[in-house]
Amino acid sequence: MSGRLQGQVVLLTGGASGLGLAIVERFVEEGARLGVMDRSTEGCAALQERFGSAVVCSPGDVRSWQDNERAVADTLAAFGRLDTVIGNAGIWDFNAFLADLPGESLAAAFDEMLQINVLGYIHLARASLAALTETRGSLIFTVSNAGFMPNGGGVLYTASKHAVVGLIRQMAYEFAPYVRVNGVAPGAMVTQLSGADSMGMADRVYPGDRIAARAEGFVPLGRMLETAEYASGFVFFADRRDNVPATGSVLNYDGGLLVRGMGPVPRGGDDLPHKLGL
């Protein structure tokens, strides 16, 4: 039986690990061929070895316009077209509250977070726009529960994901009727999401196992969801049969976090005077 995405060509950023790798696995299963851009050359090599001719991987940094252009060109050279482009690469701020961030480091941290999480998506959309217009294809962006509610990250990450929701809506308007633009907003998962280098977090990894151990207490569905379980949301928006009415939409696909809210108490500033030395 052919998959839902049989014959489609997809380009994905951040596809060598975590949620991105789960999307690659599911899309290959559904019959798609994929171009992947990832900053890890080792990750790219592993993808090529595992998936063979179904995947072509271009090492690159989403902050670089030239790297995005090259990823699009490599995908078109390998497969001849583009049906769906997925912006997924991102970094986290490990719930760093503003009062915990030194004022002198804010500009660098802001620049890194917004360049990767927002400018990277803008670069990708612009680089792929002509190819997607030719096929009347679609753009899909990974958002987060932090795109809709506080405490899914700190002030910088939350700002970046709220910005992505705005990008989706504006691009959906600008690109209609030729290219549909949608987003998937996952909740917590066990993944390899890392932090900002400018914040000293480049070697830290999302504490998925620790969060999973207490997920029953804060995830309405009662457990930490797997990356593979989130991949189906991206399949839905990429499926040319099922996604026809959808543009400017964001699928809140978070295990119920949006209806529950985040945090053990209904405020985050109880210790603010202590942090500020008051």
b/e map 77-95, b = 16+ CB within 10 Å:
eebeebbbbbbbbbbbbbb
Total Cβ atoms within 10 A of residue 144: 28
Q: Contact at 8 Å (CB) between 30 and 3?
A: yes
Catalytic (active site) residue 157: yes
Q: Rounded to whole angstroms, how far apart are CA atoms 29 and 61?
A: 27
3-state SS, residue 8 = coil
Where are the domains positioned within the chain? Answer: 9-258
The whole-number pLDDT of residue 207 equals 66
Helices H, strands E: what count in the chain?
Answer: 10, 7
Q: Contact at 8 Å (CB) between 153 and 144?
A: yes
In sign, the C-alpha dihedral spanning 81, 128, 37, 251 is negative
The whole-number pLDDT of residue 213 equals 73
The CATH homologous superfamily of the domain defined by 9-258: NAD(P)-binding Rossmann-like Domain (3.40.50.720)
The whole-number pLDDT of residue 242 equals 84
Total Cβ atoms within 10 A of residue 53: 9
Gyration radius from the chain CA atoms: 19
Kindly name the residue from 157, 206, 230, 253 that is annotated as catalytic.
157
The whole-number pLDDT of residue 105 equals 92
The whole-number pLDDT of residue 262 equals 65
Q: What is the pLDDT along the chain (278 residues), one digit of tens a residue?
A: 479 999 999 999 999 999 999 999 999 999 999 999 999 999 999 999 999 999 999 999 999 999 999 999 999 999 999 999 999 999 999 889 999 999 999 999 999 999 999 999 999 999 999 999 999 999 999 999 999 988 889 999 999 999 999 999 999 999 999 999 999 999 877 776 777 888 887 777 766 677 767 767 777 777 778 889 999 999 999 999 988 899 999 999 877 777 776 666 667 788 889 888 88
CA distances (Å), 247 to each of 81, 110, 187, 236, 250, in order? Answer: 21, 29, 21, 12, 9
* pTM assigned to the model: 0.92
The whole-number pLDDT of residue 232 equals 94
CA atoms within a 13 Å half-sphere pointing along the CA-CB vector of 180: 22
Quick one: how far is CA 231 from the chain centroid? 11
